[in-house]
Structure 1
Amino acid sequence: MADLHIEDFHQDVARILVALYNRFPQPAALFVSDLIGEHEPDAFGVPAPRHLACFSAMLWLADEGFLRYGDTIRQEAIDQACLSERAFVLLSRADQRERDPALPASIARQRATLAQQLRDALHSGSSSAVYDTVQRCFFTSVS
């Protein structure tokens, strides 16, 4: 049986990190619905499991030191969210092995960042590419 919740987690992490990187250093409200779309709550108003999973991924990233936030907005969003220094450095550092020597240095540097690799993986629609790139973020952050 496939661990679909783990695939979703990696997608969520990639979207969260890219969204915050795109707004860095400006703190922002980060809404679950902006990341994964609308998921209707059940008849009692309890958010959908997919919605709760994405919200939990935000909180987990904060607990693990990838982002900071001021407060939660119910279970809809985190407010005043911003990448931590650790995450910003991780995402903006260019991997020399990924640089394309045929490109101008500034473009090659930007394309070699983990932030751009996350964008490319999300854009590709490949779960494997997203998984591998997010794992690279996790492994790189602990070394």
Structure 2
Amino acid sequence: MADIHVEEFYKDVAIALTQLYGAFPRRVNVFVEDIAGPDEPDEFGLHSKRHMACFGALLWLAEEGLLRYVDTIRQEALDQAVLTRHAFIRLSAPAPDALAREFGVADGKATGALPPSIQEDLSTHIHLVRTALRSGNSARISQVMRAIFFADHSND
């Protein structure tokens, strides 16, 4: 089992990437509160560790070339964020067959009767991210995010 902060990181970036993919190619504001939940700054105006970890995850995505943004809105949001070409290609790419099978989208029972274009959509990384988020299963979310981050994407 991974450290809880790593599991939270995977969930935060999964939610952020899903939001940005859903808005692509429009620029949108990405609010930490929409990802990590409500946060009340303390008497000194400082956010919780959880809030700051999520904000840090968003900044990390930008530093790693997965998203771009115009500015930060204090420590509460990224202003006018959009996926990079690199991230869009990764999320749109088919997931490895073994991972797709684990999520039940590569076997004939789940997709055999569907047109090939629909089958292809169901096997993309973004579909698996959405499926993992809907499940609420931290291990599944971590598994699919690791596949996105660590897979060989030499053609990106």
Give 1:103 deviation, angstroms: 1.5
Aligned to 2:90: 90
The structure-2 alpha-carbon separation of the partners of 1:75 and 1:96, relative to structure 1 and needing over 3 Å to count, comes to: closer
Aligned length: 143
Identity rate, percent: 48
Aligned CA RMSD, in angstroms, stands at 1.7
Conserved 8 A contact 1:90-1:140? no
The structure-2 alpha-carbon separation of the partners of 1:95 and 1:49, relative to structure 1 and needing over 3 Å to count, comes to: closer
CA distance in 2, matches of 1:50, 1:95: 30
Per mean C-alpha deviation after superposition, the further-off stretch among 89-98 and 116-125 is 89-98
CA distance in 1, matches of 2:39, 2:58: 17
Residue-by-residue CA offset, 1:112-143 (whole Å, 9 max, x unaligned)? 11001000000001000000000011012655
TM-score (norm. length: structure 1): 0.93
Conserved 8 A contact 1:92-1:114? yes
Q: Which ranges of 4 or more aligned residues in structure 1 deviate by more than 2 Å?
A: 94-102, 140-143
CA distance in 2, matches of 1:135, 1:66: 14
Give 1:41 deviation, angstroms: 1.2
Q: Secondary structure at the match of 1:19?
A: helix
Q: Return 5+ residue gaps in structure 2 as ranges.
A: 101-105
Letter in 1 for 2:151: T
Per mean C-alpha deviation after superposition, the further-off stretch among 33-42 and 46-55 is 33-42
Conserved 8 A contact 1:90-1:137? yes
Residue-by-residue CA offset, 1:79-126 (whole Å, 9 max, x unaligned)? 110001000000011247344343212211111110010000000010
Aligned to 1:61: 61
TM-score (norm. length: structure 2): 0.86
In the alignment, structure 1 residue 118 sits paired with structure 2 residue 141: no
Residue-by-residue CA offset, 1:19-52 (whole Å, 9 max, x unaligned)? 1000000010100011121021112110111111
Conserved 8 A contact 2:29-2:81? yes
Q: Return 5+ residue gaps in structure 1 as ranges.
A: none
